[in-house]
Amino acid sequence: MQVASVIVDVAAMQTDKEFDYIVPEKWEGLIQPGMRVVVPFGPRKIQGFVTALKNKSNVKRLKSIIEPMDLLPVLNQELLELADWLTETTLCFKISAYQAMLPAAMKAKYEKVFQIRETAEPMDDKLASLFNRNGELAWEAAAKAGLLNSLRQEVKENRAELVYKVKSRDRKKSIRMIGLALSDEDLGGHLDALPANARKQKDVLHYLAASGSPLLSAKEVMEQTDTSNSTLKSLLEKGFIVERYQEVYRDPYENRQFKKTEPLPLTNQQQEAIAPILGSIEDVRHETFLLYGVTGSGKTEIYLQSIQRVLEKGKEAIVLVPEISLTPQMVHRFKGRFGDDVAVLHSGLSTGEKYDEWRKIQRKEVKVVVGARSAVFAPFENLGIVIIDEEHETSYKQEENPRYHARETAIKRAEFYQCPVILGSATPSLESFARAQKGVYHLLTLPNRMNNQQLPEVEIVDMREELRHGNRSMFSRALFEKLTDRLEKGEQTVLFLNRRGHSSFIMCRDCGYVAGCPHCDISLTYHRHSHRMKCHYCGFEEPVPSRCPECNSDHIRYFGTGTQKVEDELGKLLPHARVVRMDVDTTSRKGAHEKLLQQFAEGKADILLGTQMIAKGLDFPNITLVGVLSADTMLHIPDFRSAEKTFQLLTQVSGRAGRHQLQGEVVIQTYTPEHYSIQLAGKQDYDQFYKEEMMMRKLGNYPPFYYLALVTVSHEDVMIASGVTEKITQYIQARLSDEAIILGPVASPIARINDRYRYQCLIKYKREPKLNEILKTVMEHYTKQQGDKSLQVAVDVNPFIMM
DNA sequence: AGCACGCCGACT
DNA sequence: GTCGGCGTGCTC
């Protein structure tokens, strides 16, 4: 007897373990570890993942697997083991780890349906009429109609049954193909056999015969011969033609042409940088490289040529980019060099498109994957390199379970395959640069821009000074002057603003009342489209009050500056300027992002105005001015990384200017010009920033000097939330070494979300081998024993967001 | 997470 | 008497 260990699709602490099932004899040899199966679980039917096969079990009453959902494993042995590692390091459920590795289309959908029993005596007509043609009635529909009781009775009396269905959404797309069922010699005779008025049918047969190919798309044949499906149907019935369904991939880049590119000659500094990488590929040796190169120093060419070498070895490559729809130029470069060998995985694709790209990888039809964070799980089996571009980006950390970091995951996989990892950045994260300094990573440096272009000249403008001179506009005099100058010269400008919407919040000028969310401790954000205020955390929204709810004054004012407001302002000040605005609101539609960029690239706009998303990857020759409207918005958020993020962002945005022949200029507007992150971003001095920031981190006992773990407790009742956090803090404190620093319990920076109070405890530590075990115990204790449904305890190991 | 089972309050 | 509330415990 063969027994399969199965992880079931129930994300809960109590079910986060292997359940044993008998493998039915007919499927012995077929069912393998890494396959999805349908299993009975209590009264239901659910999806599960086979993790192992064995020949006996300690469980007395075993049930059998109902059916396999795959013909081949969807997770190979390496990925199964990687999931174990993910589970242990991020403290997530195993099922969550598996699901993170697979495209969303493979997540099971469940349906509960009442079915009429054919064999039994007919049920009441009125009730029976509610069932559909197939004799089915959805459980949910029945519940809505208040029929559950009568249906329960029907089930009891065997006139109906309740059926649990497991559906996979991994639909393949196929197209209908038709072809001649006859040989050429036979054709003549058969044509004669057709009645004289069957003109259309003859046309089709002639067309098929003339084409010479065994199968043609039915759609195409109908179009070309001007016939309809009924013609094909009669031919099929007569057996003159055959039809086949052929799987096709949904190709999001189908109609795009990619110009083939050849490897470019490398500069001396590029050659020096690439040599150790090629060495590591050659020796089949794992090593992590930190490729530190200023913007425009030619990192991408190094990626491309490293991949080239990997492909020559018959191996595969993964390239991670922050959020790929944001950098269509990047996709173009990879598709241009490696053509059809490239699959692309990013959030802009539909579920079906992602699934198809994933299958291309699984079926080994591609060798290179370019994608966002989750592409790190691409099911390659002969991985030769992993490249993480813009290594410092925080989007590489997933903020929901499993809370993994793509960088650590990539390194883990690369260790398994003994292949290199390249982390590329112009502004490496402090963690990575510190590791490079310690020799954990191999540091490679590209200090100069290609062709030795100058870095842009940066001017830092003190906005307080502007105010003192009576300038209350959002543009400093310097920026405005340069902006008009560019308009005259016909050169392009990028304006960067780190905030979306119109104004960030609404305040009464008389009493200082700020509109806040009634369910969360955060102010509401004003959206001009709808003229409403929205909460970005729980989705609450309400119209803008015309009078202050506190003091009844009508001096309601919008504070903060959003992209919409800047656009309006530009329209007033420079009515002739053509502005393209890019933010979440204008790019949410599919393909909108590329369209807007295209518009700008073709010179149909003078000014590109946008948020974060324009900071990366833009490379247009005509941009000679970059304006940062308010550099400090990020600086004041309560996060130990805020200075680092500010520096990185400013450096990145500045890098957009003057990448080609024309010299670039940057204007940074700020209310805190003396801050080191702004000063050093202005000088583009990463090395100095690294030194200063490392000092701050050392003083604050923050990474990279300490590791962090964050426990967040939430409950409807403040007292319970704080009380439980207090207990947890004590429990942890008692079990860690003296070296560990424990902060808490304190209220979270956002003390309430969705009417739940939030408390947290932050653990700073250097080496605590027992920590994960302790945290696991805490989670187990508070999910099981308390039984308080409202209590939530979440653990984030190496958190990036402290909220 | 679901779902059944089971044990108490208010009703046709 | 029964319907239905949700506390408790299990799912191979």
Calpha distance A711→A730 (Å, rounded): 13
Contact present, A581 and A609 (Cβ < 8 Å):
yes
pLDDT of residue A255: 64
Mean pLDDT over A274-290 rounds to 97
pLDDT tens readout for residues A67-106: 999 989 999 999 999 999 999 999 999 999 999 999 999 9
Smallest CA-to-CA distance from A363 within A351, A378, A353, A375 is with A378
pLDDT of residue A327: 66
What's the whole-number average pLDDT of chain A? 87
pLDDT of residue A159: 84
Q: Using the predicted structure, report yes or no on whether residue A316 has a pLDDT greater than 90.
A: yes
Question: Residue A149, CB, less than 7 Å from strand B?
Answer: no
pLDDT tens readout for residues A227-238: 888 888 888 888
Q: Using the predicted structure, report yes or no on whether residue A261 has a pLDDT greater than 80.
A: yes
Contact present, A569 and A629 (Cβ < 8 Å):
no
Burial class (CB in 10 A: 0-12, 13-18, 19+), A611: buried
Q: Using the predicted structure, report yes or no on whether residue A182 has a pLDDT greater than 70.
A: yes
Confidence of residue A689 (pLDDT cuts 50, 70, 90): very high
Contact present, A384 and A285 (Cβ < 8 Å):
no
Greater confidence (A412 vs A217) lies with A412
pLDDT tens readout for residues A31-42: 999 999 999 999
In this structure, the protein residues whose CB atom falls closer than 7 angstroms to any atom of nucleic acid strand C are A 10, 12, 14-15, 18-21, 39-42, 57, 59, 61-63, 149, 787
Residue A376's CB is within 10 A of a number of other CB atoms, namely 26
Greater confidence (A801 vs A327) lies with A801
Output the six-digit token pair for A247.
């799987």
Backbone dihedral angles phi then psi of residue A760, each to the nearest 5 degrees: -145, 165
Which of A64-73, A443-452, A680-689 comes out lowest in average pLDDT?
A: A443-452
Task: Please name the nucleotide lying closest to A3, CA to C1'.
Answer: C12
Distance A15 CA to C7 C1' (A): 20
Confidence of residue A501 (pLDDT cuts 50, 70, 90): very low
Nucleotides of C under 7 A from a protein CB: 4, 7-8, 10-12
Give the residue ranges of the annotated binding site of A for Zn(2+).
508, 511, 517, 520, 535, 538, 548, 551
Q: Using the predicted structure, report yes or no on whether residue A301 has a pLDDT greater than 90.
A: yes
Could you tell me what percent of chain A has a pLDDT over 90?
46
Calpha distance A413→A77 (Å, rounded): 12
Question: Residue A164, CB, less than 7 Å from strand B?
Answer: yes
Greater confidence (A207 vs A370) lies with A370
**Cα–Cα–Cα angle for A429, A709, A702, nearest 5°?**
45
Confidence of residue A443 (pLDDT cuts 50, 70, 90): very high
Distance A152 CA to B8 C1' (A): 23
Which of A62-66, A156-160, A224-228 comes out lowest in average pLDDT?
A: A156-160
Distance A737 CA to B10 C1' (A): 58
